[in-house]
Amino acid sequence: MKCDSLGFQSEDAPTMRVSDIARLLTQAHEHEIPALLERFEADERRGVQDALRRTRRRYERITAEKQRVDSLYQQMRSLGGTGVVLGLDEVGRGAVAGPLCVCAVALPDEPHIMGINDSKQLTPQKREILAEEISKVATAVGLAFIEPAAIDALGMARCLRLAMTQAIQEAGVEPQAVLIDGIPLGIHPREKAVVKGDSSVACIAAASIVAKVARDNLMTALDASYPGYHFAQSKGYASAEHIAAIQTLGLSDVHRVSFCSNFVKRADEA
């Protein structure tokens, strides 16, 4: 009696319970799904057909996600060449409290990190998981923080360039290309700016995730030192609760004074 690649005998399908087939399909790994779909496609029982439809949809989602991530890596190489490619992204540019954070990441061609995307498209839990995986897989990671006082003194445009330059230095590699999200900044002779690069280039997406997680964790820690400002929830951005706290408590030493004049003015007028 013949067995297929998964160990099923040729007469197994008709004798298996619908619930067992459904569980098998649900628990199947990606590489097992095509053989299982073929194995049970002739089973006309409604429960089996329903399970097959669900599994086909799952496999389509898996395949689409793999193609999406593959395209991010292809774009990284297309833009960056064959050498070390650093992707850079920033977090916190528009916040009214806390630092500006820039991350630089270099990724190997393999393994592909499934799920990487613009950090804003991911849940906090998914970002944490991916940031840990990126830290294990990446060939280089550099982080730079620019504190609020420096932002007030120098302005955001200058601080952004400074943070990106520092992140490249912290990565500790000589890149063939430096890919940044957004518009050109003139931070490196091999710089290339990529509009929406955090959702289209693997190393920029990875940088956006690591930067977001690093800054969010810092803002959560600052919440304990500066209670009442809702830093853990707002991450230093101008949420309604954060603005109300500024108007009640005034500015802390981790606020960007130049970003908060409107809030303080409204508090004085009140």
Give the CATH number, domain containing residue 159: 3.30.420.10
How high is the mean pLDDT of the chain?
Answer: 92
Looking at the fold, whether 174 and 60 belong to one and the same domain comes out as: no
Cα 261 from Cα 270, distance rounded (Å) = 14
Looking at the fold, whether 68 and 173 belong to one and the same domain comes out as: no
Average the pLDDT over each of 26-35, 65-74, 88-97, 228-237 and give the range with the smallest value: 26-35
The whole-number pLDDT of residue 237 equals 97
Q: Which two tokens stand for residue 153?
A: 């003194």
**Is residue 236, in this structure, part of any structural domain at all?**
no
Domain closes at, from 173, 192, 215: 215
Domain closes at, from 62, 77, 92: 77
Residue 207's Cβ-count burial label (10 Å; 0-12, 13-18, 19+) is buried
252 phi and psi angles, rounded to 5 deg: -95, 175
Average the pLDDT over each of 27-31, 88-92, 185-189, 192-196 and give the range with the smallest value: 27-31
Cα 144 from Cα 98, distance rounded (Å) = 13
The whole-number pLDDT of residue 263 equals 78
- Per DSSP, helices labelled H in 155-254 are 156-171, 202-225, 231-234, 240-249
The whole-number pLDDT of residue 30 equals 85
Looking at the fold, whether 130 and 185 belong to one and the same domain comes out as: yes
Domain closes at, from 23, 42, 77: 77
Q: Which residues of 10-23 are buried (b: 16+ CB within 10 A; e: fewer)?
A: eebbeebeeeebbe
Q: Which residue has the higher pLDDT, 30 or 93?
A: 93
**Is residue 238, in this structure, part of any structural domain at all?**
no
Looking at the fold, whether 61 and 89 belong to one and the same domain comes out as: no
| Chain segment 154-180, per-residue pLDDT in tens | 999 999 999 999 999 999 999 999 999
Looking at the fold, whether 16 and 135 belong to one and the same domain comes out as: no
Looking at the fold, whether 31 and 155 belong to one and the same domain comes out as: no
9 phi and psi angles, rounded to 5 deg: -80, 160
| Chain segment 11-63, per-residue pLDDT in tens | 555 579 999 998 999 999 888 999 999 999 999 899 999 999 999 999 999 99
**Is residue 139, in this structure, part of any structural domain at all?**
yes
Looking at the fold, whether 211 and 89 belong to one and the same domain comes out as: yes
Its domain, for residue 21, covers 12-77
**Is residue 184, in this structure, part of any structural domain at all?**
yes
**Is residue 249, in this structure, part of any structural domain at all?**
no
Q: Per-residue pLDDT for 267 more than 90?
A: no
Find the helix or strand (DSSP H, E) in which 85 lies.
strand 85-91
Q: Per-residue pLDDT for 1 more than 70?
A: no
Looking at the fold, whether 172 and 66 belong to one and the same domain comes out as: no
Looking at the fold, whether 73 and 126 belong to one and the same domain comes out as: no
User: pTM for this one?
Assistant: 0.87
- Average pLDDT of the segment spanning 212-234: 97
Average the pLDDT over each of 12-21, 80-89, 115-124, 134-143 and give the range with the smallest value: 12-21
Q: Per-residue pLDDT for 270 more than 60?
A: no
The number of folded domains in the chain is 2
Share of the chain above pLDDT 90, in %: 87
Cα 265 from Cα 251, distance rounded (Å) = 12
Looking at the fold, whether 97 and 112 belong to one and the same domain comes out as: yes
**Is residue 243, in this structure, part of any structural domain at all?**
no
**Is residue 247, in this structure, part of any structural domain at all?**
no
Looking at the fold, whether 89 and 188 belong to one and the same domain comes out as: yes
Q: Provide the sign of the torsion angle of the four alpha carbons 20, 24, 26, 27, taken in this order.
A: positive
**Is residue 241, in this structure, part of any structural domain at all?**
no
Looking at the fold, whether 138 and 180 belong to one and the same domain comes out as: yes
